Structure 1
Amino acid sequence: MTVAVWKAVRRRPLRFVLSAWPLRCWAFVLSGTVVGFGVLLLLAVLLFVGIGLSVVGVGLVILMGVAVLGIPVAALERRRLRLVEPQPLLDPHGSLPGTGALPWLRTRLRERATWRELGYTLALGIVFTATGIGFTALLGLSVLLTATPVIVWVIAPDTVMLMPGRTVSDPVAALPGSVAGLLGLLVSAYVGGLLASAQVWVAQALLSARDEDLNSRVIELTRSRARLIDAFEAERRRIERDLHDGAQQQLVALSMTLGLAELELRGQDSGAAPLVARARSEARQALEQLRSLVRGIHPQVLTDHGLSAAVSELALRNPIPVTVDVDLPDRLPSAVETTAYFTVTEALTNASKHSGADRVTVVGRLREDKLVLLITDNGHGGADPVAGAGLQGLADRVAVLKGRLVVTSPVGGPTQLRVEVPCSA
C-alpha cells in the first residue's frame, strides 16, 4: 500500500514544507480529531445505555447499533481521506438481499468488513483523537508564538508574557518568540505529515475492499446474472405457452370456422364468399407467423430432442445453406442448450445479414465437460465485436455461464466464432 503523504515527504523533504501538503495534512488531522472525539462520546453513551438497558432487552438492540456504528464512520472517513489521498478507497460492502432494517442488519453483521470498520472507529476515537489533541496543542502554540509581535502591537505590552516573570515591552522584543513559533510550525508540518500518513495507512488496511470482498461481489454478481437469466427464461416459456395454448388455438378455431363458412357459401351467388376466403387466407398467414414466433421464443424441438436436432431444424429455415455437424454423447443441461441454441441463432442471423457468405458450417463437440461450438462462414470477414451490439450480446450471453466467445474474422474472410460453455457452470 502506498501513502501519498509519506511518499511526498520522502521524495522531497524540503519542498514538502513549501507545498500545500502541510495545510492538507493539518486539515485532515484536525478534522479527524473533532470527528474522533464525537465518535468516542457517542460510543461511550451507546455502550453505557446499552449495557444499562440490556436487562430489559432494549439494550441488545443498542449494542447491535454499536456494532454497525463503524459503517457510517467508515463512509465519512473514505470521503475525508480525499484530503490527503488522491486514490479513493473502494467500499468493501456487498449488495443487500432485500430492503428493510432487518435484512440490512443481518447482512452487515455477517460481513468481515463491518468488524474491520468498527476496529478503525475505535482506533479513531481513542488513538487518533489523543494524538490529534497533542498535535492541536503543538500547532496552536506555534501559531501563537509566531503571531507574538502582532499580539504585542495590538494589545498592551505588559499583558504579553513569553515566560513566567517576563513580559514583552515592544513588538521587536517579541521576535525571538516568532522564531520559536516558525520552528514549531516547521516541526508541525512534518509531524502532521507523519500522523496523516499513519492514519491513511490504517484506513487503507481496515477500510478498503480486500480480495475476499471483491470475490464475494463477483460471486454475487454472477449469481444475480444467473437469476436474471433464469427469470427471463421462465418468462419466455410462459409467453410461449400462452401463445401456443391461447392465441394459436384461437386462430386455428377461427380458420376452421371460416372454412366451414366457405363451404356453406360455395355454389351460392353471394359477394360474401370471396371475403370469407380472403379472411381464411389471412387467418392462415397469421397462424404461420405466430408459429414462427413461438419457435423463435423457445423451440419445442430443443426441449424434446436436444441441441443437435434444434440446430438441424434451424439450418433448414436459414436462407444460407448451413452444414451441421453437432455430435454430443448426451443431453446437456437446459441452460447450456438454451444458451448455445440462441447463440447459433444470432450467429446465423448475423451471417445472413452482414457477411455476404453463401455457406455456413456449425460444428459442435463436448470436450472435457465443455461444449465447444465452431460457427464458420465464407463471407468477406472484418467482423468487429466492438463495432456492433450483436457480437457483444453473444459474448454477454455466453459469459453468464462462465463461457467465452472468440471471434476470428480477418478482412476477406472467413469468419469463425468459437463458443465455449462449461456444462458444470
Structure 2
Amino acid sequence: MRPATAWQAMAQRPAGFLTSSWPWRSLAYLAGGVIVGAIAVLVFTAGLATGIVLLVVLLGIAPLVGLVLGSTVVASVERRRLRLVDLDPVPDPHRTPEAPGFKAWVATRLKEQATWRELTFTLISAAALWWLDLLVLGFSFGVPAVTISSVDGDTWPWAVFGSVVLLASPYTLTSWAGARAAMARTFLAPRDQELGEELREVRATQSRLLDSFDAERIRIERDLHDGAQQRLVSLGMTLGMLRLDTPEDSPQSELLTQAETQLMTAQQELRALIRGLNPPVLADHGLVAAIEDYAGRFPIPVTVDLRLPRRLPRKIETTMYFLINEALTNIAKHSGAGTAAVHGRYHSDLLILDITDDGHGGVDTEAGSGVTGLADRVAALEGRMRVSSPAGGPTLLHVEVPCRFA
C-alpha cells in the first residue's frame, strides 16, 4: 500500500522517495500555502481595518463576523489542500443548521467550537505559516540560485553549499510539509464531541468490546492456572506414586514413562498458553520488557528498539503487545523473512510503532489476511495503521495510536 503521508513516504520508501511524486506534492502544498496565506492576510487586514473603523459608528460588527465566517472558507480550502501530503481525508466538523436560511447558518457556525478553531488556524496561517512556507521555499531554491549564479574563483565553496542545499531540497520541503499538515489536521479535524452520535456509539462499542475481551482473557488465564494446571500437577503426583509401586522392568513401567512424557509436554504447552494469555513480564515490567522477552524466544532474529517515557495505559499497553505479537507471528508464518525489527517512539501524545521484515512482501490488505485483525485492534484505540509491502519486500507495518498519560 502506498504511504499515506509525506512523512511516511520518506520513512517507507528511502530508495524510491526522490523518484516518487511526494517531493512535487510537497512543493505544490507549500507553494499553495504561500498563495492562500497571502490572500488571507490581505482579506483579513482589509476586513479588520474596515470593522474597526465602522465599529465607531456601531456598524463594524458585520465585517468582524464576516472575518470569523471567512475562516471557515480558508479551513475548507486547507482540508482539500491537505490531500496533497496526507491521503486520509479530514472530515468537515460542521453540522447542518437546524433551520433553513442564511441567518440560521450564521447562528449555527458562530456557536460551533470548530469555527473558532478554524479562526485560530487562519490567524496562525496568515501571521506565520505562509511566511515559513516562503522561507523554506526560499532557502531550498533561492539560496542555491544566488550562490551558484554568483560563483567565481573565490566563492566556489558557496556554490558547493548551494548545490548541497538544492540536492537536499526534496527532503527539506517534504519534512516541513509533513509537519505543517500534521498541525493543520490537529486544528481542522473534528473532535469527538463534534462527531455524529452514531459514530460516537461505534467507538464506544469498540472500546467496550476491547475491555470485555481483556477481562475475558484474564479470566481464562486464571481458570487455566487454578484449574487445569493444578489438575495436571495432581496427575503428575499420582503417576509418581504409581511409579514407586511399579517394577522398572515391567510393561506398566514403559506405559508410565510414556504417560509422564505426555504429561510433561501438556504442562509445557499449557504454561506457554497461560503465558501468552497474560504474560507476567507484561503485567510486572511493561511493554518494552515484554516485547524484548518475546523477541528473545522468537524463531528468527528480531531487533527491538522501543523507547517510551513511562509505562503506557493498561488498555493501550495490552493491545499493543498482542498486536506486535500477532504481527511477528504473521512474519514467521508467511513472509519468509530472515530478520524482523520493532521500532517504537512516543511523541506529542502519539504512540508510533513500525514493524518491519525483510521477507518477500506482497501482503494484500484487502484479502482478509491477518492484517485485518491488526487494523481492527488499532481502530478500537482510534488509531491509524498503514502497510507498505511491495512484491519482493520489505514489509513495513506503521501504527499511530493516540496515547495520553494521566
**TM-score normalised to the size of structure 2?**
0.50
Matches within 5 A, 1:84-163: none
Give 1:235 shift.
0.9
Question: Where does residue 340 of structure 2 map in the other structure?
Answer: 360
Report the CA distance shift for 1:214/1:403 in structure 2 as closer, same or farther (over 3 A): closer
Question: Where does residue 372 of structure 1 map in the other structure?
Answer: 352
Greater relative CO (CA pairs within 8 A, separation 6+): 2
Give 1:376 shift.
0.7
Tell me how far apart the structure 2 counterparts of residues 364 and 212 of structure 1 sit (CA, whole Å). 30
- Aligned to 1:265, the other structure's residue is in SS state coil
Give 1:327 shift.
1.9
Give 1:296 shift.
2.3
1:282 matches 2:262: yes
The code of the aligned residue for 1:242 comes to: D
The code of the aligned residue for 1:345 comes to: N
1:422 matches 2:402: yes
Deviations 1:179-231 (A, max 9, x none): xxxxxxxxxxxxxxxxxxxxxxxxxxxxxxxx989612111111111111111
Give 1:374 shift.
1.0
Give 1:260 shift.
3.3
Tell me how far apart the structure 1 counterparts of residues 311 and 247 of structure 2 sit (CA, whole Å). 52
Question: Where does residue 317 of structure 2 map in the other structure?
Answer: 337
Question: Where does residue 383 of structure 2 map in the other structure?
Answer: 403
1:384 matches 2:361: no
Q: 2:308 aligns with which of 316, 322, 328?
A: 328
Please tell me whether the aligned partners of residues 383 and 409 of structure 1 are also in contact (alpha carbons under 8 angstroms): yes
Report the CA distance shift for 1:405/1:212 in structure 2 as closer, same or farther (over 3 A): closer
Question: Where does residue 199 of structure 2 map in the other structure?
Answer: 218
Larger Rg: 1
Deviations 1:218-259 (A, max 9, x none): 111111111111111111110110001111111122123313
Tell me how far apart the structure 2 counterparts of residues 314 and 421 of structure 1 sit (CA, whole Å). 22
1:270 matches 2:250: yes
Tell me how far apart the structure 1 counterparts of residues 245 and 353 of structure 2 sit (CA, whole Å). 55
Deviations 1:369-406 (A, max 9, x none): 22211111011111121123311111111011111111
Tell me how far apart the structure 2 counterparts of residues 287 and 275 of structure 1 sit (CA, whole Å). 18
**TM-score normalised to the size of structure 1?**
0.48
Question: Where does residue 255 of structure 1 map in the other structure?
Answer: 236
- Aligned to 2:259, the other structure's residue is in SS state helix
Question: Where does residue 302 of structure 1 map in the other structure?
Answer: 282
Tell me how far apart the structure 1 counterparts of residues 221 and 258 of structure 2 sit (CA, whole Å). 28
Tell me how far apart the structure 2 counterparts of residues 371 and 212 of structure 1 sit (CA, whole Å). 22
- Aligned to 2:196, the other structure's residue is in SS state helix
Deviations 1:268-302 (A, max 9, x none): x4321111111111111111111111122221211
The code of the aligned residue for 1:281 comes to: T
1:394 matches 2:374: yes
The code of the aligned residue for 2:398 comes to: R
The code of the aligned residue for 1:402 comes to: E
1:318 matches 2:298: yes
- Aligned to 1:325, the other structure's residue is in SS state strand
Matches within 5 A, 1:64-103: none
Q: 1:237 aligns with which of 209, 218, 242?
A: 218
Report the CA distance shift for 1:323/1:213 in structure 2 as closer, same or farther (over 3 A): closer
Tell me how far apart the structure 1 counterparts of residues 372 and 252 of structure 2 sit (CA, whole Å). 53
- Aligned to 2:337, the other structure's residue is in SS state coil
- CA RMSD of superposed structures (Å): 2.5
Please tell me whether the aligned partners of residues 258 and 277 of structure 1 are also in contact (alpha carbons under 8 angstroms): no
Tell me how far apart the structure 1 counterparts of residues 345 and 231 of structure 2 sit (CA, whole Å). 41
- Aligned to 2:364, the other structure's residue is in SS state coil
Q: 1:293 aligns with which of 260, 273, 288?
A: 273
Tell me how far apart the structure 2 counterparts of residues 367 and 383 of structure 1 sit (CA, whole Å). 28
Q: How many corresponding residue pairs? A: 218
Ranges in structure 1 where 5+ consecutive residues have no aligned partner: 1-112, 117-210
Identical aligned residues as a percent: 54
Deviations 1:99-154 (A, max 9, x none): xxxxxxxxxxxxxx9x99xxxxxxxxxxxxxxxxxxxxxxxxxxxxxxxxxxxxxx
Give 1:417 shift.
0.6
The code of the aligned residue for 1:334 comes to: R
Give 1:334 shift.
0.8
The code of the aligned residue for 2:320 comes to: A
Tell me how far apart the structure 1 counterparts of residues 344 and 234 of structure 2 sit (CA, whole Å). 41
